[in-house]
Structure 1
Amino acid sequence: MFTVTPRPAPLPHARLAPASSVRSAHEGDAAALAELSRPFVLSGALRERPLPLYAARAAEFLVAVAPEGPLEGCVGLRVYPAGPGEDRGPAGVLYNFCVAGHRQGHGVGAGLLRAVLAMAHARSLGALFTATTGGGGLFLRYGFAPAAAGLAPPSWVESLDPRRNARILARPL
């Protein structure tokens, strides 16, 4: 059973930057996903992932794209089925959420988060989880709250690097 109180308020009315659109990523986006993520990896905000992993998991990503084509942001959504005997439905984990520095503060992250929340609802996920080493302000504004690791998918929790001291946030759907 998954409980986080209080129940989140309706989603804020943030707008995606007018020059961007959101779409599903594809294998051909792997190099651009890695390049977009690189500054965040170097700062310690994201874990490093090899290019073949971006290619293999491209279908898990949504990307914000400028009209001329470069990626301006991305977020991965990995679905974890409930384990045997667990009294909950499948849960999702948001990962590798980043927005290019020059597009931060322009609604790109909010647009991606709204799109991934809609995708999670469409897939009938019971909850979303993420881990952040930062303040998590955007997640908190969209109804995420600190959560105990025991509520999250166990295999995902085991994959977290304890040296990163990340905070787990959750949002019921």
Structure 2
Amino acid sequence: MSQGGDEIIDATFRGAQSGDVLAMYELSKPFVATGGLIARDLELFDTDVEDFYVVEIDEVVVACAGIRRFTDLAEIFNVAVDGRWQSLGIGRFLLTSMLIVLESEGFADAVVFTKTTRDWFARYGFLPMDPASLPAERLTMLDPERKSIPMVRPTVQASDSIDALASITELRVRFERSGVEAVWDNGCDSLLMFAEKNDIDTASLCRGGMCGTCSSALKQGTVSYDVRPDVDPGDGSILLCISRPAANVVLDL
């Protein structure tokens, strides 16, 4: 759904399945062409499918990345986002969701290798690291001709897992009709809870995405749903009770 060029996104993060192989291959091709990613054929994607994760919007895979797990750290690789969905928070959603997966598995650090997107990873807390500190099993995989830069950051801490999107970038929510603007609170389970915390007059009943009472027009920004809504709030609107901001948002409240 969209309104005035601002996207309202219901994005789902999940483990990749065999039916996603072709989509992941096609998503990666533009980045392979520019030298940002190593070429992988369909067979390799199929072989490694259990190591991959995807972001799905309206049952279409729009982003993917894989995880290599070593003894002391994990590597996030092959990060690819459909060009039509870039700059809308999808890459951040994918990256932070994967960091939470790694944190839940007990990994303290995550590493990436980048040749063309160093600034993008740095924006989310990744710092250059000495390749010599990599696990021996990863060192044997290095291709010196690619001249990729290894970068590392801690995985998302348990206290950040309440809201993966806001844990890395400070987000702001503006309630337009009420004239209130505030920094998103990671302790809030939803935009409905955040509105109530800021004394914004809102209507609600089920608080689970089933009735549509809390529907509100999204004037600007991007949100993600915790679960798929049982009712359609209509074009340009969202359900406050099950959504969280994925970028700065303006609500018609």
- Say which of 14, 24, 29 aligns to 1:33: 24
5+ unaligned residues in a row in structure 2: which ranges? Answer: 1-6, 156-253
Q: Which moved more, 1:155-164 or 1:116-125?
A: 155-164
**Alpha-carbon deviations, 1:116-162, whole Å to 9, x = none?**
01001000012111100024233212221000001222222332321
Q: 1:151 corresponds to which letter in structure 2?
A: S
Q: Tell me the TM-score normalised to structure 1 length.
A: 0.80
Question: What does residue range 1-173 of structure 1 map to in structure 2 within 5 Å?
Answer: 18-67=9-58, 69-81=59-71, 90-173=72-155
Cα shift at 1:29: 1.2
SS in 2 for 1:162: coil
Q: Which moved more, 1:131-140 or 1:113-122?
A: 131-140
| Matched-pair identity in % | 30
Q: 2:126 corresponds to which letter in structure 1?
A: F
Contact 2:108 2:154 in 1 (8 A): yes
SS in 2 for 1:31: helix
Contact 1:129 1:152 in 2 (8 A): no
SS in 2 for 1:163: coil
Q: 1:111 corresponds to which letter in structure 2?
A: F
Cα shift at 1:52: 1.6
5+ unaligned residues in a row in structure 1: which ranges? Answer: 1-15, 82-89
User: Which whole-Å CA distance do the structure 2 matches of 1:157 and 1:130 have between them?
Assistant: 13
Q: Which moved more, 1:53-62 or 1:95-104?
A: 53-62
Q: 2:137 corresponds to which letter in structure 1?
A: S
Q: Tell me the TM-score normalised to structure 2 length.
A: 0.56
SS in 2 for 1:39: helix
Q: Which moved more, 1:54-63 or 1:17-26?
A: 17-26
RMSD: 1.7
User: Which whole-Å CA distance do the structure 2 matches of 1:105 and 1:37 have between them?
Assistant: 17
Cα shift at 1:17: 6.4
User: Which whole-Å CA distance do the structure 1 matches of 2:61 and 2:135 have between them?
Assistant: 29
Q: 2:114 corresponds to which letter in structure 1?
A: T
Larger % of strand: which?
Answer: 2
| Number of residue pairs the alignment of both structures matches | 149
Q: Which runs of 4+ in 1 moved over 4 A?
A: none
**Alpha-carbon deviations, 1:52-92, whole Å to 9, x = none?**
2111211111111121x2211111111012xxxxxxxx210
Larger % of helix: which?
Answer: 1
**Greater relative contact order (Cα 8 A, min sep 6): structure 1 or 2?**
1
User: Which whole-Å CA distance do the structure 1 matches of 2:142 and 2:85 have between them?
Assistant: 28
